[in-house]
Structure 1
Amino acid sequence: MEKLKYADLTDLHAHTDDNPALDEKAGTTAALCEWAIGLQAGDVPPAVLARVKHLILDGLACGLVGGHVPWSEQAAEAIYGYEPPGYCSVIGYGDEALGPLAAAILNGAFIQATELDDYHSMAPLHSASVVVPAILSAAQFLSTGNGRSKDKPTRKVSGLDFLLAAIVGFETGPRVGLATGGGELLVRGWHSGAIFGCPAAAVASSRLLGLSADKTESAIGIACTQAGGLMSATYEGMIKRVQHAFAARNGLFGALLARNGYVGIKKVFERRYGGFLSMFSKGTNRSPPYDVRRVVEELGTTWQIFNIRVKLHACVGGCHGQIEAIAKLQAEHPERFASEVLGKIVSIKVGLSGPIFAHDGWAPHERPLATTGAQMNAAYIGAVQLVDRQVLLAQFADSTLNRDDVWALVDKTSCFHDTRFDQPHYGCGARVTVVFDDGFTVEGVVDQPRGFDPPIQDEEIKEKYRKLAASAIADQARIERLEKLVLGLEDLEDMSEIFELLALPTAKVL
């Protein structure tokens, strides 16, 4: 029998002077931690401070709406059934507080519950659903739960503390994602944001908890060794809603352990054997497979925060270009796309980027789809835009998922990989070609859906917040007060009122 041959591990552990992208001695993880703990308000441009406040507001709006949709209520019922009471508030659930990790799970699941939360256009990630739940729990740990430790008294958490923690988290997630190839993880079936959201939550939590750079590095290592998330969650079930919340919990868990001196993996980004970037880039065709430099490249000068996009449609961000391409065709050819003549459509072809085609271009394998699958399926999303001329939460209610007029169009839709959209920042664009029974053919192309260049303006984010909040909260004064507090975070001495406003009960919206 031929002797088994093992790969030569010498080069695997060697310092690669010839390829700085893979340099195990780059000091990248430590450099990120030093920046995160050292960042001061004066280091952050006013435009970044303003944008992050609005991104937090957008995430909280999604959480207010998401807490009482059916799948969120089922998650809450299960978790409240086994978790003991705690001191961290859960959005919309009154006095039913939980421990920090359980609260982070539910709050993250609520923010991600309706597919209305933000997304990054180069490194697919829902930042608010990862970072905000982690630092909400960390802040309440400091102000309430920390009192269990006699040598570590409770303290107030200021809005500025919270804001700076959010900034380092919002910067970290996309950078780690870019270092692994961005959408490459989606192509290979990983839920990308649930993976590189772990270090984002760890850095944000560590910053808020006041950890040293060394302990922050441990927190990142603890978070990264828990990272995971399977994209087969797209098709059915409810667990996709919770996977970004796993990252929030994992990062917070890492920071809470490291705070007490527990040592995690060091150099977790640089390590070639079993390192975060090395392992999650396995199977890629890229050369080099990952680039450790991108984690800290232009850190503090180029802000990834401005590549976090705000959603205007209640579905996966990768299909927003498709929605807008169809809307464009509807406006240009009103007689062809009138409701009564949609049956004359023979075929619909949708061209998508490689990651989005892998993620959302699949042919439905059953009818009806679950809500999760419907919000992740390009054919279904396009069909509801054709029929309803909008893609909002109502389009994904159980009562709407099995309509014959929608499924007739779903069955006529096929998706393909269009390399045009593999360009930077084109990943959420689409090409839609519609053929009618008389041979008439129209095509619409959107390279970048609305909100890329220019991005959604802060005033528009406020309008989105107000609409979403009003659907879940009857008390207008509460809506206005929460908005005022969040948009004035840098001047807020104590976050307690925000915790209280978020915890007050909210209504069902679906």
Structure 2
Amino acid sequence: MRLHTAHLEGFGAAVNAVIGIEESRECHIWGWEKTLPPLTAASLNGTFIPSFELHDWHDSAPLHSNSILLLALFAAAEHKNAKSRASIPGSDLLLSTISAGIVEDALGIACTQAGDLIMQHGFAARNGLCAALLAKGGYVGIKGSFPRAPGKDPPYLIDEVCKAFGNTWQLEGIRVKKHSAMAGTHCMIECIAALQDEYPDALIELGEWAFDHGGWGAKRPLNGDSRIDGGQRLMKHLEAPKSIPPGLSNQDILEKWRAITVTVIDDEKRRKIENVVLHLEGLDDLAELAELLKGKTANSIAR
């Protein structure tokens, strides 16, 4: 049956596009001295980001949009640069030359990855094979995937997708985390910091929704004491963590970047990356930043 349909109208374009993607190996794996095709490079680089909760987040939902978008843009930039040998300025962001029709087609193809349409079978086969090969290679997946406890009811807020469309810009809700931890714990972290200015030990309770999303069941004995002398219980209330109002300043973000990279790259490389990112709109070619991100880095938690 597959031989019968392999040359139907339109499939030739799909075959040629995929061959062009898979035959290329010009996209860097960040922190490694290796290159891969754009789709695979974007997948691996995207896997690295959430491991230490370093991604961005949205203050109304658990979304990490920039952490996805930037990976795709970098891979697309390196792929396009290798194909056309043309520089891609930082102000371009690759999409300015894509027509509305191509954007519509791309959205349609993306939707087929979750729906019962032509390419859905192909995407399902690819994802299943990828999962099997990763597991065979030693990569560890989530345990206890089946059965899962029931989620929220209703699971989706469909009306929110297009609510105030064209009037409310969700970009304004994207935040940079002050702490490398799940956003729901940031208030707790800042409460601890405030209380520790006065007391060496403090009891801080994690909210129920935050525990459900990222908590874990503690097993006794636990190290440390949760109460101060005399058994007094301390309480601290914050309306929101600093990441929301007023949000991190550029200097806060820069200091965080320096703190989390001090053990993984040398000072010279860190300064070069800083300079490029802080002047990104004037960059002549995004490949310059991609070049700085390649090369082996140190393990941030190795002893």
Q: What's the TM-score once normalised by structure 2's chain length? A: 0.70
Q: Aligned in 2, Cα 1:222/1:282: closer, same or farther, shift over 3 Å?
A: farther
Unaligned runs of 5+ in 2: 1-21, 116-138, 143-150
2:41 to 83, 89, 103: 103
Structure showing the higher helix proportion among its residues: 1
CA gap 1:87/1:127 in 2 versus in 1, 3 angstroms: same
Task: Tell me the CA shift for residue 108 of structure 1.
Answer: 0.9
Specify every segment of 5 or more residues in structure 1 that has no aligned partner in the other structure, as ranges: 1-82, 147-152, 166-206, 229-236, 241-280, 368-402, 410-433
**Residue 311 of structure 1 pairs with residue 177 of structure 2:** yes
Q: Indicate the residue corresponding to 2:199 in structure 1.
A: 333
Q: Secondary structure at the match of 2:26?
A: strand
Per-residue deviation at 1:455? 0.8
Please point out which of 88, 92, 105 is paired with 1:157.
88
Task: Return closer, same or farther for 1:468/1:135 CA change in 2, 3 Å cut-off.
Answer: same
Aligned-partner residue type, residue 297 of structure 2: T
Kindly provide the CA deviation profile for residues 334-388 of structure 1, in whole angstroms up to 9, marking residues without a partner as x: 4xx1xxxx8xx7xx64334x4x343134535xx6xxxxxxxxxxxxxxxxxxxxx
Residue 470 (structure 1) aligns with: 262
Specify which of 235, 238, 246 is matched with residue 443 of structure 1: 235
Give, in whole Å, the separation in 1 of the partners of 2:233 and 2:191.
14
Structure 1 position 115, deviation (Å): 1.1
Letter in 2 for 1:472: V
TM-aligned CA deviation for residue 438 of structure 1: 4.6
3-state DSSP of counterpart to 2:251: helix
How has the CA–CA distance of structure 1 residues 314 and 282 changed in structure 2, closer, same or farther, with 3 Å as cutoff? Answer: closer
Identity within the alignment, %: 36
CA RMSD of aligned residues (A): 3.2
Q: Distance in 2 between matches of 1:225 and 1:133?
A: 21
Q: Give the number of aligned pairs.
A: 249
The partner residue of 1:501 within 273, 276, 292 is 292
Following TM superposition, by how much is the alpha carbon of 1:154 offset from its aligned partner in structure 2, in angstroms?
4.2
1:284 aligns to what? 154
CA-to-aligned-CA distance 1:432-457 (integer Å, 9 cap, x gap): xx766855222111220112111100
CA distance in 1, matches of 2:66, 2:105: 23
SS at match of 1:112: helix
- Note the C-alpha offset of 1:142: 0.6
Matches within 5 A, 1:392-403: none
Change (3 A) 1:157 1:85: closer
**Partner letter of residue 458 of structure 1?**
N
Deviation at 1:289, TM superposition (A): 4.6
Q: Which has the higher contact order (CA 8 A, sep 6+)?
A: 2
- Aligned equivalents of 1:239, 1:128: Cα separation in 2: 24
Whether the aligned pair in 2 keeps the contact of 1:84 and 1:98 (CA below 8 Å) is no
Distance 1:227 1:111, change over 3 A: farther
CA offsets 1:462-491 (integer angstroms, 9 cap, x no match) = 1222222332112x2222122111221211
Q: Distance in 1 between matches of 2:35 and 2:91?
A: 24
Q: Does 1:223 align with 2:110?
A: yes
* Matching of residues 165-176 of structure 1 within 5 Å: none
Give 1:276's aligned residue.
none
In 2, the alpha carbon distance for the partners of 1:351 and 1:466 equals: 31
- Residues 160-309 of structure 1: pairs in structure 2 closer than 5 A: 160-162=91-93, 207=95, 210-226=97-113, 239=141, 283-284=153-154, 289-294=158-163, 296-298=165-167, 303-309=169-175
Gap change, CA 1:465 and 1:220, over 3 Å in 2: same
Match of 1:91, as an amino acid? W
In structure 2, distance between residues paired with 1:100 and 1:294: 34
Q: Which amino acid aligns with 2:88?
A: V
Tell me if the contact between 1:111 and 1:128 (Cα under 8 Å) persists in the aligned partners.
no
Residues 498/285 of structure 1: CA separation in 2 closer, same or farther (3 Å cut): closer
Q: State the match for 1:173 in structure 2.
A: none
